[in-house]
């Protein structure tokens, strides 16, 4: 096994070790005003929407997790099957390993084999050569491309990058790729100025991936001979990052600490077009396998449809109209950061 593949498997093990489905985060400080008399009915059909010109059954999807090793191939095969059965989108983990280890393509392509017509989102780091990105998009028949930006993880990673001049390569990728490009954080949140800069460079989609879920500083600290645990708490909360994206009037995905259907609803009320879920789904698969994860996703659809009815709505478009209020600690942060 190569060093890169070994790192992929270490990430999977550590994500499982540190997983806490009850972890407190900014979603807990955001509340929605519920009408006691909603005058609605539960209809799962209200969840149906379009994503990158394809129909999907729900506005949430399986977000980037893994790829590039034997174990991750097994996971991606299952995720591809589930995405196909449930008609939701699937984002793959970073495919940048393919720049040097093309033999790992199967660990990603297996998802496309299992879901030949569904939405598959490729994922690369911002330093990936443009030609490699073009090859990956072509070989996976990708519907969109995530470019992840992850400075904190790189600093915490023993073998991580130390050069963060990424913008020019992102611009070159944007010029050469003819599918939607999504700039994605990895659990530390996109700030408003970064969104603004990239928006002006022609990037129209963002995955805010705020803090509150998987903490890659924690994961990398467990692999590091030095103590870099001080990096674990410097992320931008998901709710604040979402409000920043909303302020910039861009299309964005809410992810980072989504634990249940109510968090999905909150993400949609913040203006997210879609909501991405990673570790909750990964650990459900680890615990209960294919059937357990598929059942969970089916249950989330039913529960999200019920919540939409409970909050007095009968479509996705009007969810941003639900009145929101915040606990004071989060409200204070919002007042300081959102101008």
Say whether 64 counts as a known binding-site residue. yes
Cβ neighbours for 298, distance < 8 A, ≥ 6 positions apart: 86
Say whether 34 counts as a known binding-site residue. no
Say whether 154 counts as a known binding-site residue. yes
d(CA 91, CA 169) in angstroms, rounded, equals 21
Burial 9-26 (b: 16+ CB within 10 A, else e): bebbebbeeebeeeeebb
Say whether 259 counts as a known binding-site residue. yes
User: Which two three-digit tokens encode residue 47?
Assistant: 């969840």
Say whether 184 counts as a known binding-site residue. yes
Say whether 7 counts as a known binding-site residue. yes
User: Which two three-digit tokens encode residue 52?
Assistant: 């990158």
DSSP 113: H
Say whether 174 counts as a known binding-site residue. no
Question: Are 219 and 187 contacting, i.e. CB atoms less than 8 angstroms apart?
Answer: no
Say whether 124 counts as a known binding-site residue. no
d(CA 242, CA 207) in angstroms, rounded, equals 9
Say whether 214 counts as a known binding-site residue. yes
Query: CA 338: distance to chain centroid?
Result: 23
Say whether 218 counts as a known binding-site residue. no
Say whether 100 counts as a known binding-site residue. no
Question: Are 214 and 187 contacting, i.e. CB atoms less than 8 angstroms apart?
Answer: yes
Q: Are strands 49-51 and 54-56 parallel, antiparallel or unpaired?
A: antiparallel
Helix, strand counts (H, E) of the chain: 12, 12
Say whether 258 counts as a known binding-site residue. yes
Say whether 220 counts as a known binding-site residue. no
Binding positions are: 7-8, 64-66, 94, 123, 153-154, 184, 214, 257-259, 278-279
Binding positions for substrate are: 7-8, 153
Binding positions for Mg(2+) are: 154
Binding positions for FMN are: 64-66, 94, 123, 184, 214, 257-259, 278-279
């Amino acid at each position: 096994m190569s060093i890169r593949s070994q790192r992929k498997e270490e990430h999977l093990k550590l994500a499982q070790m540190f997983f806490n489905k009850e972890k407190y985060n900014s979603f807990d400080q955001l509340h929605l005003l519920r009408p006691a008399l909603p005058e609605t009915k539960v209809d799962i059909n209200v969840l149906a929407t379009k994503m990158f010109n394809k129909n999907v059954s729900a506005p949430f999807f399986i977000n980037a997790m893994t790829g590039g090793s034997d174990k991750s191939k097994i996971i991606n095969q299952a995720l591809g099957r589930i995405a196909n059965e449930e008609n939701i989108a699937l984002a793959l983990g970073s495919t940048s390993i393919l720049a040097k280890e093309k033999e790992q393509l199967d660990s990603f392509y297996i998802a496309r084999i299992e879901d030949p017509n569904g939405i598959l989102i490729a994922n690369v780091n911002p330093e990936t050569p443009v030609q490699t990105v073009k090859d990956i998009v072509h070989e996976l028949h990708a519907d969109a491309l995530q470019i992840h930006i992850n400075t904190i993880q790189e600093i915490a990673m023993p073998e991580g990058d130390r050069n963060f001049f990424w913008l020019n390569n992102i611009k070159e990728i944007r010029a050469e790729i003819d599918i939607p490009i999504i700039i994605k954080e990895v659990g530390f949140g996109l700030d408003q100025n970064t969104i603004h800069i990239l928006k002006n460079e022609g990037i129209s989609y963002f995955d805010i991936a705020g803090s509150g879920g998987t903490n890659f500083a924690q994961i990398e600290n467990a692999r590091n001979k030095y103590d870099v645990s001080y990096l674990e708490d410097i992320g931008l909360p998901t709710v604040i990052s979402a409000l920043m994206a909303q302020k910039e009037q861009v299309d964005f995905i809410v992810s980072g600490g989504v634990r249940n259907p109510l968090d999905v609803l909150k993400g949609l009320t913040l203006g997210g077009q879609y909501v991405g879920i990673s570790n909750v789904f990964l650990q459900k698969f680890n615990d209960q396998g294919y059937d357990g994860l598929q059942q969970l996703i089916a249950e989330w659809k039913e529960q999200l449809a019920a919540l939409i009815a409970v909050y007095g709505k009968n479509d996705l478009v009007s969810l941003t109209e639900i009145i929101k209020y915040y606990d004071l600690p989060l409200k204070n942060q919002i007042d300081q950061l959102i101008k």
